Structure 1
Amino acid sequence: MDTLQTSRRGFLKSSAGSALMLSFALPLAPKRALAESVSNTFAPSAWLRITPDSRVTVLCGSSEMGQGVLTAIPMLVAEELDADWARVGVEQAPADAAFNNPLFGMQGTGGSTTVRAHWTPLRQAGAAAREMLVAAAAELWKVDAAMLRTERGHVIGPGGKKLAYGALVEHASRQPVPSAPKLKDSKNFKILGKPTRRIDSAAKVNGTAQFGIDTHVEGLLVAVMARAPAAGAKLKSSDEAAARAVKGVSHVINLDNGVAVLASGFWAAKKGRAALNAQWDLGAGAELSTAKVSSMLSEAASNAGAVAVDSGNLKDAAANSSAQLSATYEVPYLAHACMEPLNCTAWVREGAATVWLGTQGQGPTQQIVAQIAGVPIDKVQVHTSLLGGGFGRRFAHDFTISATLLSKLSGHPVKLIYEREDDMAAGFYRPASVVKFEGALDDKGRVSLLRADIGCPSIMAGSGFMKLPASGVDAMAVEGLADHHYEIPNQRIAYGQAEPGPQVWFWRSVGHSQNVFFLESFVDEMAAAAKADPLQFRLQMLSKQPRLRAVLELAASKAGWGKSAAKGIFRGIAVAESFGSYVAEVAEVSIAKDGTPKVHRVVAAVDCGLTVNPLTITHQIESAICYGLSAALYGQITYKEGRVEQGNFHDYPVLRMSEMPKVEVHILPSSEAPGGIGEPGTPPIAPAVTNAIFAATGVRVRKLPIDIGLLKKA
């Protein structure tokens, strides 16, 4: 039995104070064919290989967390390759700069960027391979390559003769890799834009799919931690002898963020942690409460001085207005509530380290593990498993750092598992936020003035790998508001930073998740003040925004806007542009006698540019609506005497199947560049629902989650 003590800080001194402040300098993949690296294989780039049996394997450098990248990435390659989709497979790529996300400059998944970032480079990879296969066939047949074409994994020549790609791998490997292969016109796509079943579905259904928590290696120990309940908390006491006395417990290890118990299995580790009876001194953090958070954010909004938008003349606009209104909106901290508990398996050995985990950041993970383990970066292997939910949470590295330290100190492979309660209390929340609005209407009922002062913690300042710009404006705290598309002549959008204490982090749709709720609700308030239809009110402010107008009009039309709904059903509408895509949603809502809202139907219209897989778009909009509805109806992380009050789904509810509304998704045909799709469906749902509640009750919901007591009184 061992009791070990150390500090992560000691291992991370070289990281400039943060495990995430790292550089990325791995070599790019070779630009010539890589046939020599795999016997009898045509591998013209890091992204794909073709074997003599004509199997095409595409490597995916992005993380699969339910958003469909293990299908989308192969579709991009297969389209330009003219592959036989039935013979296309996919593998998870290793951590390597060859698989960097071009929009991030590192290997990572987030911001709804996978398709947007890889749309051109992966199509180029497929097109280059196709041209090399054609050149190989032209050599063999001694004909001009211009006489040949490709179709479903074959090169076809004069008279209809053809060769399967597999028969050409040796000759194709000797061809130079084209630097500028010709890409198809979208009107000729045969795979892209077509509804396609997901490659990973079968394994998830039959149980063979491997998530991080499924990892097992010889000699594995399982760890759980008694974590510090708040930043800055100090361990007062613990009974390590009692923990070590639990059958199966082998180590008790003190880290600077908690005490870990290592055992032969999860339940022994859990019992050992309970026996520790760890007691904490929260220090000044014991004063943190939800009321204090709200007060700090409100004060920050009142004093918001970092100006993101300043146009026109607010003073004159107010003086010449025919109506003025103001409102304060607020949202709480939110947890990510991933279905698969956070986990990481690490094995640090002499001169090498390996980790198995679901991560959204393979590149940073490799760098961090190398630093902690004290090994060269090329000796770190990162095995990316399927993610049982990510939503931004698995871009953080707290669990990876701790697992790697525990393996290094114990000398064993270690699987660290967070129980849901551990993650709920671990920080890494969507920021709580307050906004104070002022608006004005001119004598024609048009919006002449908009002022929004935001009080919010800074993700940029607290992330460890970004910093606030000189302007003091956190782009993530104001996105969805400062960059809205409404034509309002006089505006001021400003940010006030407040840091109550909890770590804030990326959450599905980031700042759009709260700011679109704020803006689309206040726009509805102004429409009501103008006695205008909410749809027409929006459209008249979007005369130069055809894509926003199109999704608004389509969603409204499909929902029957302007026509009578069923008795007791009321409609609300909202629209937003985020991550390069445009989404409008109409929610149909009823209110029970006890004030409980029920969302019966949501009609969504989406313009995400050129599409890869329409089935994925539909699924992602449905998922985003479910996620956003959970937050609007139930989601909140609250504090009392410095501690988080929520721990699991009994007190942090998510939408149940019986509560899920019928969702209709309508995709606008588009020739625009691809936008993201994993996140854009989330921002409009909360305001669409609360605007419907206003239509039903006359009560304006300005604070989430929705207070049914407020609606009961109506």
Structure 2
Amino acid sequence: MKNIEHTNRRGFLKLATLAGGGLVLGFSWVKAEAIGSTVASGAIIAGADFNSYLSISPEGIVTILSPNPEVGQGIKTAFPIIVAEELDADWSKVVVEQAPLDTKKFERQVAGGSGSIPHSWERLRKAGATARMMLVEAAAKRWNVPSSECTTENGFVAHSGSNRKASYGELANEAAQLAVPTNVKLKAIKDFKLIGSTIRNVDNPKIITGKPLFGLDFYREGMLFAMIQRPAFGYKLKSLNAEAAKAMSGIVNVVTFDNNVAVVGKSTWQVKKAKDALKIEWEKADALESTADHNRIFKELLDGSGATVRRKDGDVETAFKNAAKVVKAEYQCPFLSHAPMEPMNFFAHVRPDGVELVGPTQTPELARNETAKLLGITPDKVSVQLTRMGGGFGRRLKADYVVEAVQVSKLVNAPVKVIWTREDDMTGGSYRPAVRYRFEAALDAQGNMIGYKLRGASINAGNSTREDNFPAGAVDNLLIDSVDHKSPITTGPWRAPITNFLAFAEQSFIDEVAQAAGKDPVRFRLELLDKAKQKPTGAIKYDIDRMKGVINLAVEKSGWGKKKGADGKPVAQGFSVYFSHRSYVAQVGEVVMQKGKPVLQKVYSAADCGVVINQSGSQQQVRGCIVDGIGHAMYGNLTFKDGVPQQKNFNEYRLIRLNEIPEVDVHFVQNEIDPTGLGEPSLPPAGGAVANAIFKATGKRLRSQPFAEQEEFKGIS
């Protein structure tokens, strides 16, 4: 086939002649509206710098720096959209460059907590608006006209009175010489053209064509590769025989540090084979915990004293004593692996004059600071270059794998790239904490909830509750406390920390209480919100109207309580709503029975995350959260025996499969509230929506995850 060329920025392909005759007309899957993206390497195209975020070349190319790590949340596209919107740039002439760590130019270079857009929203808008104002001033000065008479659009400044027009490229050098204005006017949201539209990810062309973007892609001539054998939880290194490994082809060295054994060589395959040849003896250093121990620990924590009171409103004891009905239930969630597609890896080169770090990290400043602390040098001696991440979900908030690369590089005095295998990633990682919750609700004779108790018992989660979330403030008498067990098993933030499992438990239990009260689950929640609005108890730290807004939107779009199947019977629907990371999401799951088994067929999602930056990225964030949430609720489980994880790879650690993913219908509340985060809020309510829908279809409550392993689920036929 002859070369295929793009005819225009929409990505349609020119006709191409096939070798055997005939013509083909297709659509380019790799064409993005923006020119493309690169990893930081200094200025791509020489131009005038306006601020930390953007420069404009004489050719009119706008280079926009995206400072935050890209972990798949679309920030590398969203940040430039915000800048380009206020700049009135021609998106087809925008180049996006991943910025390196630079704490002088940028703030909060972190990917976590769904906080990147909320933190940078105004800063990015001002960066674009400032440059636009300087370009207008330059044009007005050149034409000797009032700047107030000049307008901007699609990369040009125009003056209609004199019928003159100049491109940003023509004005860039003159504009960059002007004083930077201190006060700039931002656009009215109604005037947005890029923000709120559908724009493809700027990295799509490189991802689809396999160009190097990720940490695993990074290569430096002369670097060595390293893999590390780490002890199981509760063990330490007793003895090592590495002679056979050292004698293998391509192996440079075998070194030890902090109870770890690192094999260093010239290729990943050689290093892996040598690692497998190591003869290591471990010995007990701490308590060796098993899943059976954790079940016993949970019971002791829930039954015992010593819990920390997180919130107490009213007279809880009296409310339960006088209740017409008391509802009790326990919910449990297991440890989970982060299991990103790209295992942990990082490049480090420790030199006499400083350290170079390159790789995928959600917290580049932490990586730099931990490196400086380890080596006893100042942070300014450490540079950090960011690559795109093949997933993180909170695992890459830590810097342990970065520090490993630094330690190995220092020990062998060479540039080194540490790579974890999938087994390393799953058995030596930092897991989502395991938690068990005990709920109690007191109802009066009219079915009103007059008392609410929640105790969270966790392993390495700290406070496993969110004591100020709904229904707090809507119940007159409320007690929320938590108790935690410290374990040698390492844990850490897992996508939507704490709320990822708390929401399932809370929203499932609220359905149980609604059933006991004889009320529709949605109506029951709305009554509680009305109570919080009219007569709140204690502090209200969520927006009642925004929560009611997503509830009403989800009810409308799903046809809650009104839908009927092909057989004329009501469709089994389950409801869930949650507030986390400053945003509100309501979901409705629909379950059908197939061959006697419940099958999740569809999920409706209504989200209020404020202004939506990019419809494409936002839709995918919601869908990804839902698939992640229901997949782990249904199948995810990590168990231990004497400190050793029992699931070591995907043949044992179950993930959701393509044929199990339901249809997802996504809707956003339209408002002009500043963006409030979207990378995580749609995950927490997913498990509850599924569990409540399964109950509606089968009459069986699922109180433990993963659902697929529960007797209640297995018994459905």
Q: CA deviation at 1:423?
A: 1.4
Task: Output the CA distance in 2 between the equivalents of 1:217 and 1:574.
Answer: 49
Q: Secondary structure in 1 aligned to 2:282?
A: strand
Q: Distance in 2 between matches of 1:482 and 1:561?
A: 24
In 2, Cα distance between equivalents of 1:678 and 1:249:
42
- Matched with 1:4 is none
**3-state DSSP of counterpart to 1:688:** helix
Structure 2 residue 521 is the aligned partner of structure 1 residue 534: yes
Change (3 A) 1:484 1:393: farther
Residue 519 (structure 1) aligned with residue 506 (structure 2) = yes
1:560 Cα deviation (Å)? 2.1
Which amino acid in the other structure matches residue 202 of structure 2? I
2:220 maps to which of 213, 217, 238: 217
Q: Name the residue aligned to 1:558.
A: 557
For 2:607 and 2:45, locate their aligned partners in 1 and report how far apart those are by CA, in whole Å. Answer: 45
Match of 2:492 in 1: 505
Is 1:661 the counterpart of 2:667? The answer is no
Query: 1:190 maps to which residue?
Result: 193
Which digits, 9 at most, give the CA deviation of each residue in 1:232-267, with x for residues without a partner? x21123221011011111110101141000111111
| Contact 1:224-1:260 within 8 A present in 2 as well | yes
One-letter amino acid of the structure 1 residue matched with residue 546 of structure 2: R
State how 1:573-612 maps to structure 2 within 5 Å.
573-591=575-593, 597-612=598-613
In the alignment, which residue of structure 1 is the partner of 2:157?
A: 155
For residues 612-623 of structure 1, the aligned pairs below 5 Å read 612-623=613-624
**Match of residue 430 from structure 1:** 432
Q: Counterpart in 2 of 1:684? A: 685
Q: CA deviation at 1:95?
A: 0.8
Match of 1:54 in 2: 60
* Equivalent of 1:402 in 390, 401, 404: 404
| SS in structure 1 of the partner of residue 684 of structure 2 | coil
Q: CA deviation at 1:108?
A: 1.3
Q: Structure 1 residues 565 and 289 mapped into 2: Cα distance closer, same or farther (>3 Å)?
A: farther
Deviation at 1:500, TM superposition (A): 2.9
Q: 1:270 aligns with which of 269, 272, 276?
A: 272
> Relative to structure 1, is the Cα distance of residues 324 and 511 closer, same or farther in structure 2, using a 3 angstrom cutoff?
same
Cα distance in 1 between the residues matched to 2:451 and 2:500: 23
**Quick one: which of 78, 87, 95 aligns to 1:81?**
87
Offset at residue 616 of structure 1 (A): 1.3
- Are 2:231 and 1:228 equivalent residues in the alignment? yes
Offset, 1:484: 4.5
Contact 1:84 1:152 (C-alpha < 8 Å) held by counterparts: yes
Letter paired with 1:94: P
Task: State the Cα distance separating 1:380 from its structure 2 match.
Answer: 2.0
Answer yes or no: is the 8 Å Cα contact 1:296–1:500 preserved in 2.
no
Q: Provide structure 2 residue ranges, at least 5 long, that are not aligned to the other structure.
A: 1-41, 534-543
Q: Aligned partners of 2:44, 2:345: CA distance in 1, in Å?
A: 33
| Counterpart mapping for 1:32-43 below 5 A | 41-43=47-49
- Return the alpha-carbon distance in structure 1 between the equivalents of residues 625 and 44 of structure 2: 41
Q: Does 1:295 align with 2:296?
A: yes
**Compared CA separation, residues 534 and 483, structure 1 to 2 (3 A):** closer
RMSD: 2.0
In structure 2, what is the equivalent of residue 71 of structure 1? 77
Q: Which residue of 1 aligns with 2:386?
A: 384
Closer, same or farther: CA 420–485 of 1 in aligned 2, 3 Å: same
Tell me if structure 1 keeps the 8 A contact 2:609–2:676: yes
| Partner SS for 1:572 | strand
Answering whether residue 501 of structure 2 is matched by residue 495 of structure 1, we say no
Shift of 1:37: 9.8
How far apart are 1:125 and its partner, in Å?
A: 0.7
Amino acid of the residue matched to residue 499 of structure 2?
A: H
CA contact (8 A) 1:239 1:275 kept: no
User: 3-state DSSP class of the match of 1:675?
Assistant: coil
Counterparts in 2 of 1:69 and 1:480: CA distance versus 1, 3 Å: farther
On the 8 A contact 1:593/1:712 being kept in 2, the answer is no
User: Matched residues in 1 for 2:468 and 2:698: separation?
Assistant: 27
Deviation of 1:640 after TM superposition, in Å, equals 0.7
Q: Is the 8 A contact 1:293 1:500 kept in 2?
A: no
Deviations 1:280-320 (A, max 9, x none): 1134333x111211222332233353111111111221233
Equivalents in 2 of 1:547, 1:480: separation in Å? 19
User: Which letter does structure 2 place at the counterpart of 1:44?
Assistant: F
CA distance in 1, matches of 2:561, 2:367: 52
After superposition, the Cα gap between the structure-2 partners of 1:628 and 1:209, relative to the gap in structure 1 and judged at 3 Å, is same
- In the other structure, the counterpart of 1:356 is 358
User: Aligned in 2, Cα 1:427/1:591: closer, same or farther, shift over 3 Å?
Assistant: farther
Q: Residues 99 and 107 of structure 1 are in contact (CA less than 8 Å); yes or no, is this contact kept in structure 2?
A: no
Letter in 2 for 1:179: T
CA distance, structure 1, for counterparts of residue 456 and residue 80 of structure 2: 42
Q: Which moved more, 1:37-46 or 1:531-540?
A: 37-46
CA contact (8 A) 2:52 2:106 kept: no
From 183, 206, 223, the equivalent of 1:180 is 183
Identical positions, percent: 37
Question: Structure 1: how far apart are the matches of 2:208 and 2:667?
Answer: 27
User: Is the deviation greater in 539-548 or in 389-398?
Assistant: 539-548
Per the alignment, residue 625 of structure 1 pairs with: 626
User: Cα deviations across residues 621-643 of structure 1 (Å, max 9, x unaligned)?
Assistant: 10001111121111111111221
- Per the alignment, in what secondary structure is the counterpart of residue 518 of structure 1? helix
Rounded to whole Å, the distance in 2 between the matches of 1:565 and 1:644 is 45
In 2 relative to 1, CA 194–382 (structure 1 residues): closer, same or farther, beyond 3 Å? same
| Superposition TM-score, scaled by structure 1 size | 0.89
Following superposition, the deviation at residue 458 of structure 1 comes to: 4.3
Of 242, 248, 261, which residue of structure 1 is paired with 2:244? 242
Aligned to 1:28: none
Contact in 2 for aligned 1:93/1:99 (Cα 8 Å): no
Q: Aligned partners of 1:485, 1:499: CA distance in 2, in Å?
A: 28
Shift of the alpha carbon at 1:704? 0.6
Evaluate the alpha carbon distance shift between residue 501 and residue 591 of structure 1 in structure 2; reply closer, same or farther with a 3 A threshold: farther
Letter aligned with residue 222 of structure 1: F
Instruction: Indicate if the aligned counterparts of 1:481 and 1:519 stay in contact, CA closer than 8 A.
Output: no
TM-score (norm 2): 0.88
The one-letter code sitting in structure 2 at the alignment partner of 1:70 is K
Match of 1:25 in 2: none
What corresponds to 1:651 in structure 2? 652
Q: Give the Cα separation in 1 of the matches to 2:64 and 2:695.
A: 50
Q: How does 1:323-338 map to 2 (within 5 A)?
A: 323-338=325-340
- Aligned pair count? 657
Gaps of 5+ in 1: 1-35, 461-473
- The AA in structure 1 aligned to 2:477 is N
How far apart are the structure 2 equivalents of 1:480 and 1:411? Answer: 50
Letter in 2 for 1:43: D
**3-state SS of paired residue (1:326):** strand
Return the alpha-carbon distance in structure 2 between the equivalents of residues 150 and 393 of structure 1. Answer: 43
Change (3 A) 1:81 1:666: same
Aligned with 1:97: secondary structure? coil
Q: Evaluate the alpha carbon distance shift between residue 635 and residue 304 of structure 1 in structure 2; reply closer, same or farther with a 3 A threshold.
A: farther
- 1:468-479, aligned counterparts within 5 Å? 474=463, 477-479=464-466
Distance change in 2, residues 1:425/1:480 (3 Å)? farther
Report Cα offsets for 1:316-369 as digits up to 9, x if no partner.
Answer: 212332211111111111110100111001111221211111100111112222
Q: Distance in 2 between matches of 1:483 and 1:337?
A: 31
Letter of the 1:215 partner, please give it: F
CA distance in 1, matches of 2:700, 2:105: 50
1:480–1:511 Cα contact (<8 Å) kept = no
| Match for residue 95 of structure 1 among 80, 98, 101 | 101
Question: Cα deviations across residues 578-632 of structure 1 (Å, max 9, x unaligned)?
Answer: 111111111112355575x421111111111111112211100100011111211
